[in-house]
Structure 1
Amino acid sequence: MVYMPQHFSSLVIVLGKAVRYVTRLRGGGSALPGLFVEKISPDFIRQTLGQLQRGVVVISGTNGKTTTTKMVVALLEAHGLKVFTNRTGSNFTRGVAAALLGDIDVKGNLDADIAVLELDEAHAVKFVQAIPPRYSLLLNVMRDQLDRYGEIDATAKMLEKIAIATTNTVVLNREDARVLAIKGSLQDQKVELFGLSDELLSHFPSDDDMRSDVVKTKQRPEANVILKKYSGSEATYSINGTEFSTKLKLNGVYNVFNSAAAIALAHAVLDIAMETATILATIASVTPAFGRGEALTVGGKPLELVLVKNPSGFRLGLKSFSPEGYATMIAINDNYADGRDMSWLWDVDFETLCKDGVSQVAGIRAYDMALRLQYDEVPIGHIERDLPTALRQFIDINADNPKRIYCTYTAMLALRRELAKITKVEVIS
Structure 2
Amino acid sequence: MRFLSILATKSSAAILRRLGRGGSMPGQIGLKLDPQILKKLKIHAPVILVTGTNGKTSTANMITSMFEAAGYHVISNRKGDNLREGIVTTLLTHTDMSGKVNADAIVLEVDELNIKHILPNLPVSTLVVNNFFRDQLDRAREMEQLIDSIENVLPGYRQTLVLNGNDPNVVRLSLKAPKAHIVYFGLAKNKYSVEKTNEASEGKFCPRCGHRLVYSYYQYSHIGSFCCPECHFRTPILNVELKNIDLKDHTFTLHGEKFKDPYDGMYSMYNCAAVLAVADLYNIDTRHVKEVFANAPQPKGRNEKFSLDGRNVILNLVKNPTGANEVMKVIEEDRNKKTIVIVLNDNDQDGTDVSWIYDTHFEKLMNEATTRIITTGKRGFDMALRLYYGGYKGILEQKDTIEEAFNEAVRDKDDIYVIATYTALLPARSVIEKQVKNYG
- Is 2:389 the partner of 1:375? yes
Query: Could you tell me which amino acid in structure 2 is paired with residue 4 of structure 1?
Result: F
Question: 1:4 aligns to what SS in structure 2?
Answer: helix
Shift of the 84–16 alpha-carbon distance from structure 1 to 2, 3 Å rule, reads same
Larger radius of gyration: 2
Alignment correspondent of 2:322: 312
Q: Percent identity?
A: 28
Query: Could you tell me which amino acid in structure 2 is paired with residue 122 of structure 1?
Result: L
Query: Could you tell me which amino acid in structure 2 is paired with residue 236 of structure 1?
Result: F
* 1:224 paired residue among 239, 253, 278: 239
Q: Is the 8 A contact 1:96 1:117 kept in 2?
A: yes
Question: 1:318 aligns to what SS in structure 2?
Answer: helix
Q: Is the 8 A contact 1:246 1:284 kept in 2?
A: no
Q: Is the 8 A contact 1:253 1:320 kept in 2?
A: no
Residues of 2 paired with 1:129 and 1:193: CA distance? 22
Residues of 2 paired with 1:390 and 1:45: CA distance? 47
Give the drift of 1:235. 2.0
Alignment correspondent of 1:13: 10
Alignment correspondent of 1:236: 252
Deviations 1:281-335 (A, max 9, x none): 3323324433233334455654333221211111111113334334322111111
Give the drift of 1:166. 4.3
Alignment correspondent of 1:253: 266
Alignment correspondent of 1:427: none
Alignment correspondent of 2:211: none
Give the drift of 1:152. 1.9
Query: Could you tell me which amino acid in structure 2 is paired with residue 17 of structure 1?
Result: A
Residues of 2 paired with 1:135 and 1:291: CA distance? 29
Deviations 1:78-137 (A, max 9, x none): 222122222222322233345457767899886532221111111121122322422101
Residues of 2 paired with 1:110 and 1:298: CA distance? 46
- Is 2:356 the partner of 1:340? no
Give the drift of 1:370. 0.9
Alignment correspondent of 1:407: 420
* 1:202 paired residue among 194, 197, 200: 194
Per mean C-alpha deviation after superposition, the further-off stretch among 31-40 and 190-199 is 31-40
* 2:375 paired residue among 361, 384, 394: 361
Alignment correspondent of 1:55: 46
Question: 1:202 aligns to what SS in structure 2?
Answer: coil
Residues of 1 paired with 2:330 and 2:277: CA distance? 23
1:63-78 equivalences under 5 Å are: 63-78=54-69
Give the drift of 1:170. 0.5
Residues of 2 paired with 1:282 and 1:314: CA distance? 26
Q: TM-score, normalised by structure 2?
A: 0.80
Shift of the 19–245 alpha-carbon distance from structure 1 to 2, 3 Å rule, reads same
Q: Is the 8 A contact 1:227 1:235 kept in 2?
A: no
Query: Could you tell me which amino acid in structure 1 is paired with residue 257 of structure 2?
Result: F
Give the drift of 1:10. 3.3
Q: TM-score, normalised by structure 1?
A: 0.82
Structure 1 unmatched ranges of 5 or more: 425-429
Residues of 2 paired with 1:362 and 1:3: CA distance? 49
* 1:324 paired residue among 335, 355, 379: 335
Alignment correspondent of 2:209: none
Question: 2:139 aligns to what SS in structure 1?
Answer: helix
Alignment correspondent of 2:291: 281
Shift of the 413–166 alpha-carbon distance from structure 1 to 2, 3 Å rule, reads farther
Deviations 1:60-87 (A, max 9, x none): 1111111111221122222221222222
Q: Is the 8 A contact 1:327 1:359 kept in 2?
A: yes
Query: Could you tell me which amino acid in structure 2 is paired with residue 376 of structure 1?
Result: G
Shift of the 140–248 alpha-carbon distance from structure 1 to 2, 3 Å rule, reads closer
Shift of the 117–214 alpha-carbon distance from structure 1 to 2, 3 Å rule, reads same
* 1:126 paired residue among 117, 120, 126: 117
Count of aligned residue pairs for this structure pair: 406
